[in-house]
Amino acid sequence: MADTGKSCVVAVEPVLPEHVYEQEAITAAVGPLVASDPGRAALLRRLHAGSGVDHRHLVLPLEDYAALHSLGETNAIFVREGAALAERACRGALDSAGLGPQDVDHVFATSVTGVAAPSLDVLLAERLGLRSDVRRTPSFGLGCAGGAGGLARVHDHLLGRPDDVALLVSVELCSLTLQHGDDSAANMVASGLFGDGAAAVVVVGARHPLAQEGDDRRTTIVDTRSRLYPGTTDALGWEVRDTGFAIVLSAGLPDLLAAHLLADVKGLLADHDLTPADVPTWVVHAGGPRVIDAVRDTLDLSEDAVRESRASLACAGNLSSSSVLDVLARTLAHPGAPPGSPAVLMAFGPGVACELVLLRMGGR
């Protein structure tokens, strides 16, 4: 009999917009829009250079960002371009899984860089041709934790409906949140760190036929944990302005992780008679060099353990909720541990919130 306490990841599909630029080119174009004072402009250049980002994909041509000044303008672009990018990710994931849109029973859609009503999942239902009775869970506000949190909530759904197919889709167009004339440290860091992208994940319940094709073939979701850190609501998030979403970003986020993450990870693993030393694979949100460093050092990991997170950051920047799913796709494409071994996926977002997912790695 199938173990209905688990669900299986059968496909992960990250996608990036077509406009790709070296970090130096983005700095040269964006810098004057953000910082006019020579001293602040010099600081911006240093922050961009130290971001761990080599190049980023943008939803618009680089020269178009100078003309964007209002939330109405940027959100209209988010709805139009975000839906198209999410559709690409979903079609790719479904094709990889050998499934069609009519097979999808539940869609969980997450984003924090734009809003839509009807929500993104409704737009996708029309574009993809999903069934009219598809169950939907739209989410806004999980931020960078949305990929991990979305995977956890999809798992929760499938525990109660183990025959179902769920589709997790994340889309983030972070470049549209650039705030002109704001030379705060937070805006300067964000302008050099975040990129645009989307990702889709197909997950099936334990009784679905795709979950029965052999334990060495399917990456299994075993358990999840969510944690809110009290007194941190002003550390990470948005200030909504007429000019769009202005980032709230505390420099103390790595210190928060150093204070809390080890106990949270140990708590998740202990329920399965595991310790961090038993885990060979770590799927870490590419939140920035200091975030990756904090996870590595707090959990006493090797640099090799966060290799795919560094690679994702360098190639695309921090993709917010799509970031950890991009890292997951890279990890599954180049597994460094045997099938059946444990892995921990993690991401951090506004709250401050930590989302953890315990996986059992499959073979490819």
| pLDDT tens-digit series, residues 202-236 | 999 999 999 986 655 689 999 999 999 999 999 99
Pairing between β-strand 135-140 and β-strand 165-173 as defined by DSSP bridges: unpaired
* C-alpha to C-alpha distance for 290 and 51, rounded to whole angstroms: 9
**pLDDT value, residue 336:** 85
Q: Inter-axis angle of helices 23-34 and 38-49, to 10 degrees?
A: 150
Is the Cα torsion angle 213, 121, 322, 150 positive or negative in sign?
negative
Phi-psi region of 180 (alpha: psi -120 to 50; beta: other; left: phi over 0): beta
What pTM, to 2 d.p., does this model score? 0.96
Tokens describing residue 136: 């939907």
The 3-state DSSP class for residue 85 equals helix
The edge-to-edge listing of strands for the beta sheet with 342-349 is 135-140, 106-111, 165-173, 196-205, 7-15, 219-228, 353-360, 342-349, 281-284
* 8 given a catalytic annotation: no
**pLDDT value, residue 1:** 39
Is residue 250 within 8 A of residue 290, CB to CB? The reply is no
Among 144, 174, 315, 354, the one annotated catalytic: 144
Tokens 């209905």 belong to 4
The 3-state DSSP class for residue 51 equals coil
Is residue 360 within 8 A of residue 343, CB to CB? The reply is yes
329-219-348-147 Cα dihedral, nearest 10 degrees: 60
282 beta partners: 344
Rounded to the nearest angstrom, the gap between the alpha carbon of residue 352 and the centroid of all alpha carbons in its chain is: 15
Find out whether the peptide bond into 352 is cis, omega within 30 degrees of 0: yes
* C-alpha to C-alpha distance for 173 and 33, rounded to whole angstroms: 18
**pLDDT value, residue 216:** 57
**pLDDT value, residue 362:** 84
Tokens describing residue 277: 């030393």
DSSP string, 86-145: HHHHHHHHHHHHT--GGG--EEEEEESS---SS-HHHHHHHHHT--TT-EEEEEES-GGG
Q: Could you read off the pLDDT tens digit of each residue along the chain, which spans 364 residues?
A: 356 678 999 999 999 999 999 999 999 999 999 999 999 999 999 999 999 999 999 999 999 999 999 999 999 999 999 999 999 999 999 999 999 999 999 999 999 999 999 999 999 999 999 999 999 999 999 999 999 999 999 999 999 999 999 999 999 999 999 999 999 999 999 999 999 999 999 999 999 999 986 655 689 999 999 999 999 999 999 999 999 999 999 999 999 999 999 999 999 999 999 999 999 999 999 999 999 999 999 999 999 999 999 999 999 999 999 999 999 999 999 988 999 999 999 999 999 999 999 999 986 4
DSSP type of residue 13 = E
Tokens 């371009």 belong to 81
Q: Which residues contact 137 (CB under 8 A, 6 or more apart)?
A: 106, 107, 108, 109, 121, 153, 157
